[in-house]
Amino acid sequence: MAGSTRFYDFDEAENSIFIGYTFYGTKFWGSKINPKVKKLMLDYIFKYVRLVKFHVGAENWRSRTAMERLGAELKGEIVVAYHGEPDRKNVEYWISKEDWLTKPNLH
C-alpha cells in the first residue's frame, strides 16, 4: 500500500466536496502517485459536483506546491479541527469544474 486519500464534507447547497486526509509513505514522496490519484479523483467527481476543495496544513510546503501544480487556487487561511486533534492552521485551495475541464494543461 502506498497511502490513502478520500472525499469528504459534501455540500449539496454549494455543490462542492473536499478531497483530503491524504498521506503516502515516504518512499512514495515525489513518485507521481499523488498527482495521478488526484487527477483520477477529479475526473470522476466532476461528473457530480462543480467545485472541489482541499485543506492543506499552512506550513506543509510540499503539499501546497502539489496543489498549485494541480492547478488549485489558494483561497486563504482557515483553522481546521481534524477528528480527535487540536485546531490547526490550514490553507484552503479550490478547483472548479469549469477550470478543470477548460484548462487541458491541468490533466
What is the model's pTM? 0.88
Which 8-state DSSP code applies to residue 107? -
The pLDDT confidence band at residue 90, using thresholds 50, 70 and 90, is very high
Residue holding cell 485546531?
87
DSSP string, 48-103: T-SEEEEEEETT-HHHHHHHHHHTPEEEEEEEEE-TTS-EEEEEEEEEEHHHHHH-
Q: What is the pLDDT of residues 25-84, one digit of tens each?
A: 888 877 888 888 999 999 999 999 999 999 999 999 988 998 998 899 999 999 987 778
